[in-house]
Amino acid sequence: MKSSRERFWQQVAMALDELNVALLQDDAASLELGEREYMAVQKRLLRQTETDRERQHLKRLIAHSVLRFAYSVATTWTEYQRALRRVRQLGYLNVDYRSRAANFTLLWVADNDPTKASLGWEMVEEAERRLRRLRRGSQVRRQALAATASVKQRVTRQGLMPPAQPASPGTSRRRGSRIAS
């Protein structure tokens, strides 16, 4: 990578860090204010991108930052869903970010709107399936699965149980294959 691009991505990281800290320190910051601030930073940084791939990556980073902010300040499902929808439309940066989004969603649902629990559990299960496809020795796999297990434990302690998996008689839970009788 050229040094100018390295400097650009360092600038992106610093801008996002500064904005994250400023918004989280402001107790009166609403989700709308945060979204406006993130979009202003995105607009400024997009002018400095050179390729479509960089633009897409930057938009995804901003969307995940908005989701993380929404997790801490959103009070209604409509607010949180707007941030989640943006992340899903743009796609995930990688399986780790997918896992984080799923964990944030499940935690937010447990704290604010248990009626949306099935979506949170569904996202977590999908993220876990993708994480398990990573190499067993992968540090990302190990850390993300541990974080997910911690989130699931916390949420179940709050009383938000995963939806029951209907098992048809004569099938194993492992792969849904028939058990030899």
> Dihedral through CA 104, CA 107, CA 113, CA 119, nearest 10?
60
- Counted domains in the chain: 2
Do 82 and 101 belong to one domain? no
Is the CA virtual torsion 88, 14, 142, 57 positive or negative?
A: positive
- 84 and 99 co-located in one domain: no
- In this prediction, residue 168 has a pLDDT band, given cuts at 50, 70 and 90, of low
- Helix 95-112 to helix 117-132 angle (10° resolution) is 160
Whether residue 37 sits in one domain with residue 69: yes
Q: Which phi and psi (to 5°) does residue 92 adopt?
A: -100, 150
pLDDT band at 164 (very low <50, low <70, confident <90, very high): confident
Residue 99 has pLDDT above 70, yes or no: yes
Structure token pair of residue 125 = 């299960």
pLDDT beyond 90 at 37: yes
User: Is 37 within a domain?
Assistant: yes
Give yes or no: residues 74 and 1 share one domain: yes
Question: Which residue from 49, 48, 104, 111 is spatially nearest to 76, judged by alpha carbons?
Answer: 111
Q: Are 71 and 129 found together in one domain?
A: no
Q: Which amino acid is at 11?
A: Q
Domain that residue 131 falls in: 93-160
Residues 8 and 67 in one domain: yes
- Name the pTM for this structure: 0.86
> Distance (Å, rounded) from C-alpha 121 to C-alpha 119?
6
Asked whether 103 and 92 are in contact (CB, 8 A), the reply is: no
